């Protein structure tokens, strides 16, 4: 019997391999950008530059977006961004639940993308998961304010979060999401690494990324933080 579970918030995938229409509608940056705006959102065009003398709050400029890790003052604004980006509060509530879980939350891996005017436009989160008994990272939720969608804010936040994870010594990242969006960051089907979710999902939507390819990767079943409910 196939175990049925809800879609993981912040993704566009429903278990069983069928895209969730509501999630797809809520995250157009994951579904339409590769087809309609791929020329303007090439992953190879994002070159991070770390600002000097900001060790306590490092920032990176990625394709004109200022990216930085969250601070205590950002908590409410991050919730507002996710409430604006999605039709229901699931993602916003999930972030708060993950932040309250010391086994899931990792300082420095919740990243924001700011517009040139200083508005918080995009958000990306990496939290602790496990593959088998080995630690890994789960990407999501990711969100962009509607007025800033299709302009690269989400991609900038994701790229900054991945860069920060690499700097912290992390390697394996998994994501459940649209197969045409996440490969720009280097994600490929997780099954190619011998990595699988605990629920039924079409192979191409469950992806993994090795931040340091020369390091060995674990294989096995992904165990998400309890807040994900899967």
Is pLDDT of 46 > 50? no
Listed in sequence order, the residues at least 6 apart from 72 whose beta carbon sits closer than 8 Å to its beta carbon are none
Listed in sequence order, the residues at least 6 apart from 230 whose beta carbon sits closer than 8 Å to its beta carbon are 5, 6, 8, 197, 198, 199, 224
Question: Which stretch of 44-53, 72-81, 108-117, 193-202 has the lowest confidence by average pLDDT?
Answer: 44-53
Is pLDDT of 14 > 90? no
Number of CB atoms found within 10 A of residue 186's CB: 15
**Among 193, 195, 175, CA closest to 132:** 195
Average pLDDT in the chain: 82
The 3-state DSSP class for residue 167 equals: helix
Using a pLDDT cut of 70, give the percent of the chain over it: 75
Question: Which stretch of 39-53, 100-114, 125-139, 184-198 has the lowest confidence by average pLDDT?
Answer: 39-53
DSSP run (H or E) holding 101: none
Q: What is the pTM of this model?
A: 0.77
DSSP run (H or E) holding 93: helix 90-99
Domains of the chain and CATH, by start? 13-228 (3.40.630.30)
Return d(Cα 12, Cα 18) in angstroms, integer: 9
CB 112 within 8 A of CB 67: yes
Listed in sequence order, the residues at least 6 apart from 44 whose beta carbon sits closer than 8 Å to its beta carbon are none
Is pLDDT of 41 > 50? no
- Per-residue pLDDT band for 56 (boundaries 50, 70, 90) equals very low
**Among 27, 31, 43, CA closest to 156:** 43
**Among 202, 190, 199, 195, CA closest to 220:** 195
- Per-residue pLDDT band for 197 (boundaries 50, 70, 90) equals very high
Listed in sequence order, the residues at least 6 apart from 199 whose beta carbon sits closer than 8 Å to its beta carbon are 3, 4, 5, 15, 230
- Per-residue pLDDT band for 117 (boundaries 50, 70, 90) equals confident
- Per-residue pLDDT band for 227 (boundaries 50, 70, 90) equals very high
Q: For 118-129, b where at least 16 C-beta lie within 10 A, e where not — what string?
A: eebbbbbbbbbb
pLDDT score of 176:
95
Mean pLDDT of the 87-102 span: 97
Report the helix count and the strand count for the chain, using DSSP H and E: 6, 12
Mean pLDDT of the 11-15 span: 41
Is pLDDT of 50 > 60? no
pLDDT score of 58:
76
Number of CB atoms found within 10 A of residue 6's CB: 13
Mean pLDDT of the 161-165 span: 98
């Amino acid at each position: 019997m196939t175990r049925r579970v809800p879609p993981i918030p912040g993704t566009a995938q429903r278990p069983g391999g069928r895209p969730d229409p509501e999630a797809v509608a809520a995250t157009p940056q994951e579904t339409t950008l590769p087809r309609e705006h791929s020329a303007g959102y090439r992953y190879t065009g994002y070159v991070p530059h770390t600002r000097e003398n900001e060790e306590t709050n490092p920032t990176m400029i990625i394709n004109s977006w200022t990216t930085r890790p969250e601070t205590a003052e950002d908590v409410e604004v991050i919730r507002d961004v996710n409430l604006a980006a999605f039709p229901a509060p699931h993602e916003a509530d999930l972030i708060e639940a993950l932040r309250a879980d010391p086994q899931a939350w990792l300082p420095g891996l919740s990243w924001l993308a700011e517009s040139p005017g200083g508005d918080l436009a995009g958000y990306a989160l990496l939290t602790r998961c496990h593959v088998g008994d080995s630690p890994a990272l789960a990407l999501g939720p990711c969100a962009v304010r509607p007025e800033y969608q299709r302009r690269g804010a989400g991609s900038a936040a994701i790229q900054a979060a991945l860069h920060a994870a690499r700097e912290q010594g992390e390697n394996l990242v998994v994501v459940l999401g649209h197969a045409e969006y996440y490969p720009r960051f280097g994600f490929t089907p997780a099954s190619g690494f011998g990595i699988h979710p605990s629920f039924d999902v079409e192979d191409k939507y469950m992806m993994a990324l090795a931040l340091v390819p020369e390091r060995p990767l674990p294989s096995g079943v992904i165990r998400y933080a309890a807040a994900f409910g899967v």
